[in-house]
Amino acid sequence: MEEMHKKILQRNRTNLVRDLKPSDLYDRLLEKGVFTQDMIDEIKSSGTRRDQARQLALDLETRGSQAFPLFLECLQETGQQNLAELLLNGQAPIQPLPPPPIHAVRPMALPVCESCPMDVNDKCVKDTVSVQPIQRPTTTPTPSPEREYTRPRPPPRTRRDSIQTYKMDASPCGHCLIINNVEFAPQCELRNRTGSNIDAAKLERRFKALNFIVEVKTNLKYKQIRHELSALSKKDHSQFDCCVVVMLSHGTEVQHNRFPGAVHGVDGPAVPVQLITNYLNGQHCPSLQGKPKLFFIQACGGGEKDTGFEVSPDEARPSIGRADDQTDAIPMSSSSDSLSTSDETDARATLPTPSDILVSYSTSPGYVSWRDTQAGSWYVEMLDRILEENAATDDLVTMLMMVNNEVAQNSALGLYKQMPGSFNFLRKLLHFQSPQ
């Protein structure tokens, strides 16, 4: 598909998802060769009408140069003129193709250089060849063969032409566990995390709006964190499509082989992120096999502070960091001492390939994560806002890139920066249900 047509579809994605009636189009799209039967069956299996509309629009971008005008024809033929006009307004008027002649004059074959691609319009001919002009009718010009309109034939079905989408239409969509550690025992030398309750309240509202069953646990010790994760893994998730875990706590670096970092219980010891994800992988939680498992970690990844680098004035934006920003970090050595050998062995020995898992970190491995005592953490503030504004139209990975960009603009004390990131092992696009 031409880039111009792709951009028109992308700009109007929201309207297509909201108003398109995919079921009315399937037969015509099949007849016109835009999609094969296998592709239509996969679009139908993607979920609700909105999910099917979204998948149809995504797949349409992969279907060649004639897919867009044929799609417009299908919209007009099925009474969806409003959408057709909306898409037409985003491009130059389509000129109708001339009808094929009854008696076409066969053009003379021209010799071409071996180093040039074979093309009937190619002007690279041998100088020694005398070419007589082709006599054509004096009335309507005859289009050359490659200019003639021919309906594209469906290509052989050998592979999927675009990324699929996770099924996300169960109601409720799934469980969301939020662990919010605010007040830490004096002996562990960790400051209380003032402002974390604001983060927990924001994310509780947000995931309830996305149709999740939300449970918030506050001030959990190391063993209590593991107990809650174990209880979540033992639930029957067969009727749900997704599972979410949010960790709000102090954090640190630990040795790892897949997911970096660890989060502290209020008594001091820290649970490695790779162990947290291990509870819900396909081996330990069979009812979540093949379903997305999402982990959001608001905690430091270490003790380093990033001072950033200078950018051009075009890249610079006003920072919104405040004077009362705090970090969620402690030195690596104390956290490493708090982890028993059995914990690290357990995490390494039982962690299989982490398919369908995404871990979103508030900061880069090794660096601090900033939290405002009055407004909450930078990362959660942006995550909540981006989900609110874009969950109806964009997939999760795209939204997390938006979060990365927004958080990267902040500065603590006018100096320190923060860069969120993700470890993404999802196999498909993930679109949340429209906020309720």
According to the model, what pLDDT value does residue 324 have? 52
**Band of the pLDDT at 280, cuts 50, 70, 90?**
very high
What is the mean predicted confidence (pLDDT) over 218-247? Answer: 97
According to the model, what pLDDT value does residue 192 have? 92
According to the model, what pLDDT value does residue 90 have? 65
Give dist(CA 436, CA 209) in Å, integer. 5
**Band of the pLDDT at 122, cuts 50, 70, 90?**
very low
pLDDT averaged over the chain?
77
Where are the chain's structural domains?
3-88, 174-309+316-424
Helix (H, G, I), strand (E, B) or coil at 396: helix
pLDDT tens for each residue of 86-117: 888 865 444 444 555 554 444 444 443 333 33
Asked whether residue 301 carries a pLDDT value surpassing 90, the answer given is no
pLDDT tens for each residue of 319-355: 455 545 555 544 333 333 332 222 222 333 333 457 8
Q: Is 300 an active-site residue? A: yes
Asked whether residue 269 carries a pLDDT value surpassing 50, the answer given is yes
* CATH for the stretch 174-309+316-424: 3.40.50.1460
Please check whether residue 347 is in contact with residue 272, taking contact to mean a CB–CB distance below 8 angstroms: yes
Please check whether residue 207 is in contact with residue 244, taking contact to mean a CB–CB distance below 8 angstroms: yes
Asked whether residue 119 carries a pLDDT value surpassing 70, the answer given is no
Residue 361: burial class (beta carbons within 10 Å; 0-12, 13-18, 19+): buried
**Band of the pLDDT at 411, cuts 50, 70, 90?**
low
According to the model, what pLDDT value does residue 319 have? 47
Number of CB atoms found within 10 A of residue 254's CB: 24
Asked whether residue 308 carries a pLDDT value surpassing 50, the answer given is no
Alpha helices (H) along 339-419: 341-349, 378-390, 396-407
According to the model, what pLDDT value does residue 89 have? 83
pLDDT tens for each residue of 391-410: 999 999 999 999 999 888 87
**E-strand stretches of 181-283:** 212-218, 242-248, 251-252, 262-264, 270-272
How many residues are listed for the chain in this entry?
A: 436
Per the structure block, which two tokens stand in for 107?
A: 């053009």
According to the model, what pLDDT value does residue 358 have? 96
Given the residues 173, 237, 300, 431, the one annotated as active site: 300
Cα of 27 vs its chain's centroid, Å: 30
Looking at the DSSP bridge assignments, the partners of residue 367 are 304
Residue 169: burial class (beta carbons within 10 Å; 0-12, 13-18, 19+): middle
Pick the CATH number of 3-88 from 3.40.1030.10, 1.20.120.1200, 1.10.260.40, 1.10.533.10: 1.10.533.10
Q: Is 243 an active-site residue? A: no
Among positive and negative, which fits the CA dihedral 162, 167, 168, 174? negative
pLDDT tens for each residue of 171-207: 999 999 999 999 999 998 889 998 999 999 999 999 9
Asked whether residue 158 carries a pLDDT value surpassing 70, the answer given is no
**E-strand stretches of 9-160:** none
What is the mean predicted confidence (pLDDT) over 279-298? Answer: 93
Give dist(CA 191, CA 33) in Å, integer. 64
**Band of the pLDDT at 304, cuts 50, 70, 90?**
low
Share above pLDDT 70 across residues of the chain, in percent, rounded to a whole number? 68
Distant-in-sequence, close-in-space partners of 363: CB < 8 Å, separation ≥ 6: 300, 301, 369, 379, 418, 419, 420, 421
Per the structure block, which two tokens stand in for 71?
A: 């799609």
Given the residues 250, 256, 264, 431, the one annotated as active site: 250
Phi, psi of 373 (to 5 degrees): -70, -20
**Band of the pLDDT at 277, cuts 50, 70, 90?**
very high
Number of CB atoms found within 10 A of residue 122's CB: 13
